Chains A and B, each alone.
Chain A
């Protein structure tokens, strides 16, 4: 009896530990970021750091204004969302509601494959094929722009958006479809006004996760956006994102130095942005399910 009890106790503890692992790690990461990055924020000033227009980390004296980087990330992300959200939602609706069974299987497999392509490969393809096309179409000095980054990232966000939105749509009770059809709704009217409406919370979660992926993406975006840490005036200029800055500069910093700390401060900014996005999605999800 005591052996059984002991076993139960052990198993419970192990499961409990596994359960809290991820939250513990998140907390540790955040603490580490704060520890490494806070000093520079105090040193430069939070306002100066967030809204300073110049990012010259290795000039003398160095300037740490992350505003161009924040704008770069925001611009690329908004562009990617503008492309991937309508495309992803429409494609999820098609796969879940309209496509015949065989087409559906093929499309789903294709989308999973898209998710499996390493980001460096997507970045490479974006750099050598999409860049020149954009350069040609808009007559630009360089094809590596925020727009190129947006298009590349849109295709990286698509698999997340499509597969999660598709699950949400499939989970809508069959009776809604029958009820709408019984009232004389056409397939499209049913799909748009009833199914999509009922699947809203899940679709929002899909969009948020897709956007989260875009903001955090580093490799592809570093390869296609041109990496100029300047305040962009249009989507057709090169930009540099927060993530690309960390990846590109971390190798050349002195551990414990100002530049090093500034990169951690950028990490904090990224963390806060993704946290805010997830938080908003979570709030909205709970609001709609409670009703």
Chain B
């Protein structure tokens, strides 16, 4: 186990509003790091900091540092960073293109052009995301025609096609039914060990099912971090205990 992402003294602001205070933590290579906490605890903002996606908001500001491997993320070219650190959003949002084109969109922008290479890439990514068997006969149909769960797995395949080192999941199953949720969780389990995964979830049970380590965020602060087992069975902070047992949140 080696440290993949190291966060030091990170503070995040939108305008004057501080959404995350003095966060320091380390995420290990190839683990599933889960973050739980109620709404407005700063967990999604933290996640979108890791690929600098919240820089799309004009008001956003941060202090402190985040390193990916040995590099500070602010020194990495932002387009490269976003390819290396992929993200899956809460609501699946396929681009208004075919299934095939949705997956090849990212790689094409980064300069891959050959047709055969593309076809291989599409098949490999869809297989990894457990979607291949369901869509292999209609790769050129609009992605919008897929069901919600399939769309979410397409978004995962889209991220995988960029060959990232880290995959961020931002409440990936909050808009899905239980069966689709189970499928997406299976996909995450399959990906474990090959990619570093950071999962933000509202679903405490999900964090317990798939996580290797878990952090509990509350109102912009990290209350506790540790092995998932420990956080759920013998939390060191009473607020964590109350949250995971469903007393608030």
**Cα of A182 to Cα of B82 in the assembled complex, Å:** 6
Q: Is A128 an interface residue (CB 8 A)?
A: no
Number of A-B residue pairs at CB separation under 8 A = 62
A184 and B93 within 8 A (CB) = no
State which residues 142-200 of A face B: CB under 8 Å.
Answer: 173, 175-186, 189, 193-194, 197-198
CB closest residue in chain A, given B105: A183
Residues of A within 8 A of B246 (CB): none
Distance of A183 Cα from B97 Cα, bound (Å): 15
- Chain B nearest CB from A187 CB (Å) reads 10
CB pair B109 A198 closer than 8 Å: no
Count of residues in A whose CB is under 8 Å from the partner chain: 20
- Known contacts A175-B91, A175-B93, A176-B95: A184-B53 contact under CB 8 Å: no
Give residues 178-221 of B contacting A (CB, 8 Å). Answer: none
Residues from chain A with Cβ under 8 Å of B83 in the complex? 183-184
- Please state if B82 and A183 are interface contacts (CB–CB under 8 Å): yes
Q: Is A286 an interface residue (CB 8 A)?
A: no
Query: Does A291 count as interface, using CB distance less than 8 angstroms?
Result: yes
Q: Contact partner of B110 among A177, A178, A184, CB < 8 A?
A: A184
Q: Given A178-B53, A291-B142, A185 and B109 touching (CB < 8 A)?
A: yes
Q: In the complex, are the beta carbons of A185 and B86 less than 8 A apart?
A: no
| Minimum C-beta distance from A131 to chain B (A) | 45
Given contacts A179-B89, A189-B109, contact A184 B80 (CB under 8 A): yes
Which has the most chain B C-beta neighbours within 10 Å: A101, A185, A194?
A185
Q: What are 21 A-B pairs at a CB distance below 8 A?
A: A173-B93, A175-B91, A176-B96, A178-B89, A179-B95, A181-B56, A181-B82, A182-B82, A182-B87, A183-B82, A183-B105, A183-B106, A184-B80, A184-B106, A184-B109, A184-B110, A185-B105, A185-B106, A186-B109, A197-B96, A198-B96
Known contacts A193-B109, A291-B142; 5 additional CB pairs below 8 A are A101-B58, A175-B89, A178-B93, A183-B86, A184-B106
Q: Which residues of A contact B (CB under 8 A)?
A: 101, 173, 175-186, 189, 193-194, 197-198, 291
